[in-house]
Structure 1
C-alpha cells in the first residue's frame, strides 16, 4: 500500500504536525510506502529520514508569516496551494491508495479539498482540533473564557465575538469555514470522507454536528514517542510541570497560580503569550522549548506531576500520555480528551480547570508516598496497553484497508450543519 500524508510543515509546529510525521515513520517501519506532502518548506524532522518515506514540499508560505491582508486571503482560499498540490500528486511515480490529511489551515487552505476529491482516492482527515465544524477551530469562547455551546454556523455562532484576536479575524475565519464547507459538500458526495478522532470526547461532540454529511467516523489514539524504560521516581521531583503553548485556554496560568497556593514550584516547558505573566508568579520557572528527548529527561528529573488543565475541549494532548508512559502522575481537565487515559486517584487526577481545585490536588502531591504510588500505577497501566507508534500504525493500516475496500461508497444526504 502507498499512503500520501498531507500537513502544513515538515517539522512539528504543533500536535498535528507531530502526529503526521510520527504516523509517516510508523507506517514506513511497518512496510507501507509513504509520501509526505507538506505545504511550507523548512528543515525536516529527523523521523522523516527513512527509505520508505518520500518527502514532497510545495514551497508555500505559512499564512502567519504573510502581511495580514494577504494571510487572510490565502487562509480562506489559496489557489496556488491547490495548483501545486494538484501538480505534485500528478508527478508522483506511484498513485497513492489513500490520502490522509492532518492539517490544512496554515499553508494549504480549504482550496485543497476539491483537489483531493478530484483524485478519486479515498481521503481520511484526522481532527486534531475542531476546524472541520468550528470557525475558530477550538470550539471555545475566548470572549467568555469557556467552552462554546453554540451550534456551529447558527446565527448566534456567526455573531459571537469568540475569536481571540478581533471581530475582523472572526469574519475571516467564518469566510474560510463557509467556503470549506461548500468545497466538501459539493465535491465529495457521493464519496465519503473518513474522519479520525483522537479521543472519545471529541468524537461525541463532533459526530452529532455532522449528521448527514459524507463522513465515516473512526477512533484512533495518537502515537506516543516514548521508549519503554524503568518508571521515573516522581517523588524525587520538585515541581508541577506544564509542557506546551502557554495560553489561557490550555490552562498554563492555572498551573502557576495553583502551584503557588500549594507551596510547590512550577516548571513551564514551551512558550506562548503568557510567558511573561508566568515568570512573574513566585515559584514559576519558564525554560522555553526543548527537544522531545530533553523534555523527557527534564520531566524525569524535575516533575512530581505533569498538569494539563485545559479550559477548552482539547482533543488529546500528548504531554499527558507521555507522562503516564514515563511513570509520572498526570493531572488533566475533565473537559479534555486526555482525561480518558487517567484513572482518577490511581494514576493521576481528572479535575475541573479551577485554581482552587487544582491547588487542593497539588497540595496532595506533597506526599512522597502518594506520588510514588501514582507514578508506578501510571507506568504499569500505560504499558499494559501502550499507545506506541507500532500500535498507531497498525490501526491506520486497518483503517486504510477498510477505506480502499469501501471506495465505491453509497451517496449520502447533504447536511445543513456541515
Structure 2
C-alpha cells in the first residue's frame, strides 16, 4: 500500500502537522509506503526519517512571511502551489492508493483542491479545525469571546467582526472559504471527499454545517505518543498544568485565576500573547516550549492535573489524552472534544470554561486521596483502549482500503532514502 500525506510543514508547527507527521510514521511502521508532501521546506521532524517515508517539499512560502497583499492573494488561491503539486503527483513512480490532506491554509491554499480532484485518486481530509466551514477556522467570535452561533458563509457571517486579527483579515479568510467551497463542490461531485473527524463533538457540529456537500463522514482518533509505563503520582505534584498556546480562547487566563483562588500553583508550558500577563501573577510559573519528553517529565513531577479549559469548540486537544495516558487527572472544557475521554469525577473533571467552575474543580484537587484515585483510574481506563500510533495507523488503513475499494496490499517496499525531492 502507498499513500500520500499533504500538509504545510515537515515539522509540528501546530496540531495538524503533528498528527500528519505521526500518521506518516505510524503507517510506515505498519508496512505502508508514505509520500509525505509539504508545502514549505525546512528541517524535518525526526519521525519522518524512516525507509518507507519519501519526503517531497514543494518549496513554497508561508503566506504570513509574504507582504500583506501577496500573502492575501496566495492564501486565497496559490496558482504556483497547484502547479508544483500537479507536477509532483505526475512524477511519482507509482500512484498512491489515496491522498490524505491535513492542512493547507499556510501555503497550499484551496488551489490544490482541483489538482487533487483531477488526480482521480480517493482523497481524505482530517478536520483538525473548522476551516472547511468557518472562515476563521475555529467557529468562535473573538469580538465576543464566545463560540459563534451564525450560519457559516451567510450574510451575517460576512458582516460579523469576529476575526482575531482585523476586518481585512476576515474578508480575506471569507474569500478563501468561498474559494474552498466552490472548488470542493465542482471537483468532488462524482467522487466524494472522505472527511475525518477527530471527536464525536466536532463531528456533531461540523456535519450539519457541511450538509449537502460532496462528503462522506468518518471518525478516527488522533494518535497519542505516550509509551505505556507505571502511572504517575499526581498526588505528589504541586501545581495544575496548562500546556499549549497562552490565549484567551484556550482559557489560559482562567487557569491562572482559578488556581490562585484555590490556593494552588499554576504551571504553564508553551508561549503565547498572554505570556507577559501570566508572568506577572503570583503563584504562576511560566516555561517556554519543551520537547515531548521534557513535557512528560515535568508533568509527572509537578502536575496534580492537566487543564484544557477552552472557550472555543476545540476539536480534541492532545494534552488531555496525554495526561490520561500518563495517569494524571485531566480537567477539560465541556466545549472541547477531548472531554469525551474524561469521566467527570472519576478520571478528572469536565467543566464549563469559567473561573468559578475551574476553581471548584481545583479545590477538589487539594484532596491527595482523590487525586491519587483519579490518576490510577485515568491510567487504567486509557490503557484499556489506548489511542496509540499503531491503533491510529490501523484505523487509517481500514479507511484507505474502503476509499480505494481494494484490500490492503502486503508490506510495501522501502524507499531508498527519505529525502526532499
| Category of TM-score, reference length = shorter chain | over 0.9
Residue in 2 that maps onto 1:365: 365
Residue in 2 that maps onto 1:394: 394
Give the length in aligned residue pairs. 406
In 2: Cα distance, 1:213 partner to 1:24 partner = 28
In 1: Cα distance, 2:42 partner to 2:246 partner = 24
Task: Give, in angstroms, the shift of residue 194 of structure 1.
Answer: 0.1
* Runs of 4+ more than 3 Å apart: none
Residue in 1 that maps onto 2:59: 59
1:115 to 2:108 alignment: no
Give CA-to-partner distance per residue, 1:344-377, whole Å, 9 cap, x none: 0000000000001101110110111111110000
Task: Give, in angstroms, the shift of residue 229 of structure 1.
Answer: 0.5
* TM-score in terms of structure 2 length: 0.96
The within-5 A match list for 1:189-228 is 189-228=189-228
The within-5 A match list for 1:33-48 is 33-48=33-48
Task: Give, in angstroms, the shift of residue 92 of structure 1.
Answer: 1.1
Contact 1:223/1:388, CA 8 A, preserved across alignment: yes
In 1: Cα distance, 2:88 partner to 2:277 partner = 45
Residue in 1 that maps onto 2:412: none
Residue in 2 that maps onto 1:314: 314
Task: Give, in angstroms, the shift of residue 224 of structure 1.
Answer: 0.1
Residue in 1 that maps onto 2:328: 328
SS of the residue corresponding to residue 398 of structure 1 reads: helix
Task: Give, in angstroms, the shift of residue 405 of structure 1.
Answer: 1.1
Task: Give, in angstroms, the shift of residue 190 of structure 1.
Answer: 1.4
SS of the residue corresponding to residue 242 of structure 1 reads: strand
Alignment RMSD, CA only?
Answer: 0.8
The within-5 A match list for 1:168-183 is 168-183=168-183
Task: Give, in angstroms, the shift of residue 333 of structure 1.
Answer: 0.3
Task: Give, in angstroms, the shift of residue 107 of structure 1.
Answer: 1.1
SS of the residue corresponding to residue 10 of structure 1 reads: coil
In 2: Cα distance, 1:89 partner to 1:283 partner = 54
Contact 1:257/1:281, CA 8 A, preserved across alignment: no
Residue in 2 that maps onto 1:151: 151
Residue in 2 that maps onto 1:250: 250
In 2: Cα distance, 1:159 partner to 1:350 partner = 34
In 2: Cα distance, 1:234 partner to 1:200 partner = 29
Task: Give, in angstroms, the shift of residue 278 of structure 1.
Answer: 1.0
In 1: Cα distance, 2:86 partner to 2:246 partner = 37
SS of the residue corresponding to residue 244 of structure 1 reads: strand
In 2: Cα distance, 1:68 partner to 1:267 partner = 36
SS of the residue corresponding to residue 297 of structure 1 reads: helix
Residue in 1 that maps onto 2:161: 161
Task: Give, in angstroms, the shift of residue 72 of structure 1.
Answer: 1.0
SS of the residue corresponding to residue 80 of structure 2 reads: helix
Gaps of 5+ in 2: 407-421
SS of the residue corresponding to residue 96 of structure 2 reads: coil
In 2: Cα distance, 1:107 partner to 1:291 partner = 25
Give CA-to-partner distance per residue, 1:357-409, whole Å, 9 cap, x none: 10111011011111111000000000000000000000000000100119xxx
Residue in 1 that maps onto 2:268: 268
Residue in 2 that maps onto 1:348: 348
* TM-score in terms of structure 1 length: 0.96
In 2: Cα distance, 1:111 partner to 1:284 partner = 45
Residue in 1 that maps onto 2:409: none
Give CA-to-partner distance per residue, 1:331-352, whole Å, 9 cap, x none: 0000000000000000000000
Residue in 1 that maps onto 2:50: 50
Gaps of 5+ in 1: 407-418
Task: Give, in angstroms, the shift of residue 148 of structure 1.
Answer: 0.6
Q: Mean Cα displacement is larger for which, 305-314 or 55-64?
A: 55-64
Give CA-to-partner distance per residue, 1:13-63, whole Å, 9 cap, x none: 110000000000000000011000000011111111110100000111111
Higher RCO (C-alpha under 8 Å, 6+ residues apart): 2
Task: Give, in angstroms, the shift of residue 186 of structure 1.
Answer: 1.0
SS of the residue corresponding to residue 205 of structure 1 reads: helix
Residue in 1 that maps onto 2:418: none
Residue in 2 that maps onto 1:295: 295
